[in-house]
Amino acid sequence: MSHPTLQDKVAVIAGGGKNLGALIASQFVEAGASGLVLHYNSDSSRAETEHTAAALRDRGADVITFQGDLSVVANSVRLFDQAQAHFGRVNVAVNTVGVVIKKPILQVTETDYDKSFDANAKAAFFFMQQAGRVLADRGSIVTIVSSLLAAYTDSYAVYPGSKAPVEHYTRAASKEFGSRGINVNAVGPGPMDTPFFYGQESKESAAYHASAAALSPYSTKGLTDIQDIAPIVRFLVTEGWWITGQTIFANGGYTTR
């Protein structure tokens, strides 16, 4: 069986306006995608998302943007409905949504916990559900999780804890959607060189993470680079279609299991 390609395909990318999501969007267009929905959440992300969208339009893609808190299920429904209404089809859905909290267990508040599970688990589940509702046959779903799922470390109970359910949602969705040729996977980067990472790390802990991967000496800053993750996502939605139900760690040898 031939593998799917991105040629003339339509992709919904949650968090697609900046950082990892924007690079995935750009690489999808490079691989022939003709339609993109770039989702963003905060007002502060609007300008960057519109800038990313304009740059992709200049390269010939039809791009629409969509703002919404995806922990509200109705927003996920609207996201996929609008994509379907505008393009008439959706082939690929990538969810890069995440919220990180680094705190010892004794300091975690109920708000911290709910915010983390809302963005990392609930939004991921309903994004997957809505993708499953709308995606064309032979489509693909990818969720970004974290290599911390395999870490033995302090202060990261709730962040990877709230990403952990995605592994099982991925497994279940791959089984349920498989009869339509849809593959479903999760990708777990290591500590990645974006503002998301630096927000909760001290200078010392950032330096530790930048030295912790086996391949750190060969990475520009010792960290995972978004340039090393986006091609894996692109592969999973094309030649890598036979991979399904998996969580793939891409971290230069930072954690493994």
**Sites of contact with ligand NAP (CB under 6 A):** 15, 18-21, 40-42, 45, 69-71, 96-99, 119, 123, 144, 146, 189, 191-192, 194, 196-197
Choice between 59 and 221, CB closer to ligand NAP = 221
Choice between 161 and 189, CB closer to ligand NAP = 189
Residue 163 Cβ vs ligand NAP, minimum distance, rounded to whole Å: 7
Choice between 65 and 96, CB closer to ligand NAP = 96
Task: Give the residue ranges of DSSP H helices in 88-139.
Answer: 110-117, 123-134
Would you say how long the chain is, in residues? 257
Residue 138 Cβ vs ligand NAP, minimum distance, rounded to whole Å: 25
3-state secondary structure of 17: coil
Cα separation, 68 vs 74, whole angstroms? 9
DSSP, residue by residue, 27-63 = HHHHTT--EEEEEE-SGGGHHHHHHHHHHHHHTT-EE
Cα separation, 11 vs 135, whole angstroms? 10
The two tokens of residue 206 are 């950032």
Choice between 175 and 221, CB closer to ligand NAP = 221
Residue 16 Cβ vs ligand NAP, minimum distance, rounded to whole Å: 8
Of all residues in the shown chain, the one whose CB is closest to ligand NAP is 98
Residue 162 Cβ vs ligand NAP, minimum distance, rounded to whole Å: 10
Choice between 108 and 136, CB closer to ligand NAP = 108
Residue 146 burial (C-beta neighbours within 10 Å; 0-12, 13-18, 19+): buried
Q: Where are the beta strands (DSSP E) in the chain?
A: 10-14, 35-40, 62-67, 92-95, 140-144, 183-189, 247-250
Residue 169 Cβ vs ligand NAP, minimum distance, rounded to whole Å: 14
